[in-house]
Amino acid sequence: MTKKEMIRKIAAELDIDQVLTGKIVQSTLDTILDSLATRGKVELRNFGVFKVRKRAPRKARNPKTNEEILVPAKSVIYFRPGKNVASMIASRQPVSDNKS
């Protein structure tokens, strides 16, 4: 689902303007990103937890030249689904992704 599809669905369900819905969705996403950047964690009850984790530096190898390179440390976003989300996803049939 894209952000545009999400906006259309929410606007239709709540019978409100798509422009207003778009502003609300964008504001929500901006708030989540801001909180991740400043606090490193966002917990949405009955949905899940987003956390920023540090990934240690590591050695890797360039497959073309076989040269060893150092991949620097970086921050990554990790999502741990809540129990409700995990059980809902587990009960659904997997959807094939035809982006080959």
CB neighbours (10 Å) of residue 67?
9
For 89-100, b/e burial (b = at least 16 CB within 10 A) is eeeeeeeeeeee
Q: Are 89 and 47 in contact (CB under 8 A)?
A: no
Residue-wise pLDDT for 67-81, tens only, equals 999 999 999 999 999
The pLDDT confidence band at residue 86, using thresholds 50, 70 and 90, is confident
Q: What pLDDT sits at residue 48? A: 95
Residue-wise pLDDT for 35-51, tens only, equals 999 999 999 998 999 99
Fold designation for 40-92:
HU Protein; Chain A (4.10.520)
The pLDDT confidence band at residue 99, using thresholds 50, 70 and 90, is low
Across the chain, how many H-helices and E-strands are there? 3, 5
Q: Are 90 and 81 in contact (CB under 8 A)?
A: no
